[in-house]
Amino acid sequence: MSLLSDLAFEARNTARSVADYVSGNGLRIGVTGLSRAGKTVFITALVQALTARGGRFPVFRAAAEGRIVRGYLQPQPDDAVPRFAVEDHLAALTVERRWPDSTRRISELRVTIDYERRAGWRAGPASLTLDIVDYPGEWLLDLPLLGKSYAQWSAETLDASAAAARAPLAAAWRGHTALLGEDPPASEEEARRCAELFTSYLRASRTDLYALSTLPPGRFLMPGDLEGSPMLTFAPLPVSGPPRPGSLAATMERRYESYKAHVVKPFFRDHFSRLDRQIVLVDALSALNSGPAAVRDLQNALGDVLGAYRAGRSSLLATLFRPRIDRILFCATKADHLHHTSHDRLEAILRLLVARAIARGEAVGADIDVIALAAVRATREASVKQGRDALDAIVGTPLAGEVIDGETFDGLAEAAVFPGELPPDPKLALRGDGLALAEGDNDYRFVRFRPPAVSAEPDAALPHIRLDRALQFLLGDKLA
């Protein structure tokens, strides 16, 4: 877009932000996370918590004090953005007992909360309009590309692919790139072949076996209606300066810049820059399953995540110049796969992973917190006797195909699982010689469970772990 349209957008965005700040009755929350972190489940549970009755949320003060009168859905505010299908996702969880499909595109939902302000000069009825924006975490990792040239991105991506954990996965793509020789001529066939091999490498990195955090460009794994377009037909090449006109590198550079201009920048301007607060969901357990290389890769990705934010404490002065995200919540999901004795340890591991990001955000005044939670709790806890010992266990219905002690489950039968304990020192999770457990060198694997059997009534509460803490951090000050 032209400079004039950029300035017009910033003016509209600033005016909208000033109006929301002065009125205090609007909040835009972004929900994202890397692959399979549970974004759809989190939003569904959050909306159900705000609109249903009967749930237990002792830490969420407005609910615990009985000051929330009602929460209700309103029409989707942005006509050009798909609506988050909360009703379909809730039915999948409660009626079909399956996890909803993963986030593949941006979507949005509006919830209005009628509540009573606490005693004081503002006491009395009030309303808060909450716009929830759901988008793939891979798109978030694209934002740093806006400040990188093709040569810089290529060098960083090639370096990352040479790491021990990634090198076997990148062998076919890197081998083909090496065979191209120095400064090959432009060729559509070669551009497509390089892009296909590069995409295969990205896809392999994201599988359960490796659980590596995806490198940008994020749309290579979620192309949507861009599949097959030139904007997604490029790959890194070793270049040291401006590419020669008519070369393959020049073609790749042009398409890389088009990707930034027509995919990354519109997402930043139209959606990301309008957010007030952000939730980043992290599937730390999958990384722990895959070993220290995956954990360190996740740590680097989370550092890039916060680097994408224009974080800073929200104030009228800041809003006049540029809207800012003033609260960021990192959530380690799937805490129900562990006994409660390890929940704080999971939280400590995530806090260590985002330590550098937290320091960077707090330096500019943003409030950042870390929570281990399960937006929908799929297990319950039990004590199982084994001889004279009583062992802590979790009980749930393993997904069809899950294997425990050589037994393959059908998705119907329940099982008691002894998840063990996470290491008391979170630094052990980042050790280069393997994940050390609290005791012994057991093979530490997390079983995947079906959603719990709950009432399918519209007002039925979904069981959770620490969702109320997340709600208090994100909304507590607005509902005071």
Annotated domain spans of the chain = 3-135+271-377+463-479, 148-264
- Predicted confidence at residue 308, as pLDDT, reads 67
Q: Which residue type is seen at 345? A: R
Query: The whole model's pTM is what?
Result: 0.87
Local confidence band at 4 (pLDDT 50, 70, 90 cut-offs): low
Q: What is the pLDDT of residue 221?
A: 86
pLDDT at 172: 97
Task: Report pLDDT for 15.
Answer: 56
The SS3 call for residue 158 is helix
Q: Which long-range contacts (CB under 8 A, 24 or more apart) does 70-76 make?
A: 70/113, 70/114, 71/111, 71/112, 71/113, 71/114, 72/111, 72/112, 72/114, 73/47, 73/109, 73/110, 73/111, 74/110, 74/111, 74/112, 74/129, 75/110, 76/108, 76/109, 76/110
pLDDT of residue 115: 96
Give pLDDT tens digits for 263-293. 999 888 888 888 899 999 999 888 888 778 8
Mean pLDDT of 242-249: 95
Query: By CB neighbour count within 10 A (0-12 exposed, 13-18 middle, 19+ buried), where does 275 fall?
Result: buried
Q: Which residue has the higher pLDDT, 232 or 302?
A: 232
Q: Output the 3-class SS for 276-320.
A: CEEEEEECHHHHHHHCHHHHHHHHHHHHHHHHCCCECCCCHHHHH
CB-based contacts of 317: which residues, under 8 Å, 6+ apart? none
Tell me the mean pLDDT in the region 370-390: 91
Assess whether pLDDT exceeds 60 at residue 441: no
Rounded distance, CA 73 to CA 113, Å?
9
How large is the average pLDDT for residues 51-76?
Answer: 92
Class of domain 3-135+271-377+463-479: alpha beta
Task: Note the pLDDT of residue 434.
Answer: 38
